[in-house]
Amino acid sequence: MRLLLHVPKAPDEWRDAFVRALPGTEVRAWAPGPAWQADYAAFWHPPRELLDGQARLKAAFNLAAGVDATLRSLALPPGVPLVRLEDAGMGKQMEEYVAWAVLRYFRRLDDYARQQARAEWRVHRPPRHDEFPTGVMGLGVLGLRLAAMLRALGFPVLGWSASRKVLDGVRTFAGAGELDAFLRATRALVCMLPLTPDTAGLLNRATLGRLPPGAYVINVARGGIVVDDDLLALLDSGHLAGATLDAFHAEPLPAAHRFWSHPKVFLTPHCSALTLVEDSVAQVAGKIRAFERGEAVTGVVDRARGY
């Protein structure tokens, strides 16, 4: 069996992990030129021509949860399933990051940090969970974990997704028609949506303006879902109290971008959930074995839907 590999970072680590996980498989890094005919391909940030000339490819594995960049850039042979990572060690990291971000706002640690800068000793009244409904947008593998984690922390949890989901203990909303009701009832918005033509720019002045005054935005998905100037305007007007951002339109975030220095923005360099080599390779190898047995796998991307 042959596996074509293309990863911009740590290629040797990925190759060695695949060789260990799939004994007997020839793993080769992609190079421009005539196609080395492979059975499977695994990649991140693929060049457009990565799969050109591949005649017998059985499946292509996106070594990330989000497939927006791949769908934008890669010429995918028709009929070849594209499979994305499902959790693969990212869920736990996402839970930690979002728990921290929500609790930081809930416990007003951002305010206390500002007070410290002024040497101001002042205690705010105890926060109440029922006054702090959290809303998760995107109820896929990771979004579901976040909803469960927020529930376990004691917050009322709302969930919004493109198609209807019924979840224990979570008030769910579906589709464009129920977005306003979801936003109006959400105090801390957690964006875990895939970036698709439907979600690009979905968090804009109109939608974010429907969050109640003093609401918070936490974006751990993709920068393209947010209209940056609209978010900044709502932070500046005081309608929004803070934003925690881990994903941006352009990455690295350009040094001149206002997010860097905005007092109500806390940002991180797309690290809320890092891809873990061992976990990812174990998952992909398991799915390759399933394909070889003729079994169906989960995580196959619906190209028309975009995720």
Task: Just list the catalytic residues.
Answer: 222, 270
DSSP string, 240-276: EEEEEE---SSSSPPTT-GGGG-TTEEE-SS-SSPPP
Q: Is 245 in the site for ligand GLV (CB under 6 A)?
A: no
Question: Which one of the spans 9-17, 59-67, 182-190, 211-219 is the region binding ligand GLV (CB under 6 A)?
Answer: 59-67
Strand order in the sheet with 40-43: 26-29, 2-6, 40-43, 59-62, 82-84
Beta strands in 162-221 (DSSP E): 170-174, 188-191, 215-219
Size of the site for ligand GLV (CB under 6 A): 4
Q: Which burial class, exposed, middle or buried, applies to 237 when counting CB atoms under 10 A from its CB (0-12, 13-18, 19+)?
A: exposed
Binding to ligand GLV by residue 158, rule CB under 6 A? no
Q: Which of 64, 94, 139, 241 binds ligand GLV (CB under 6 A)?
A: 64
Question: Which window, 31-39, 63-71, 146-154, 260-268, contacts ligand GLV (CB under 6 A)?
Answer: 63-71
Transcribe 101-150 into DSSP letters.
HHHHHHTTHHHHHHHHHTT---PPPPP-GGG--EEEE--SHHHHHHHHHH
Using rule CB under 6 A, residue 65 touches ligand GLV: yes
Q: Which is nearer to ligand GLV, 104 or 222 (CB)?
A: 222
Least distance in Å: CB of 12 to ligand GLV?
Answer: 21
Please report how close the Cβ of residue 182 comes to ligand GLV at its closest, in angstroms: 23
Burial of 89 (0-12, 13-18, 19+ CB in 10 A): middle
Q: How far apart are CA 210 and CA 218, in angstroms?
A: 15
- Measured from the CB atom, is 172 or 283 closer to ligand GLV? 283
Shortest distance, position 134 Cβ to ligand GLV, whole Å: 21
Piece in contact with ligand GLV (CB under 6 A), picked from 24-32, 61-69, 104-112, 203-211? 61-69
Residue among 195 and 235 whose Cβ is closer to ligand GLV? 195
Q: Which positions lie near ligand GLV, rule CB under 6 A? A: 64-66, 275
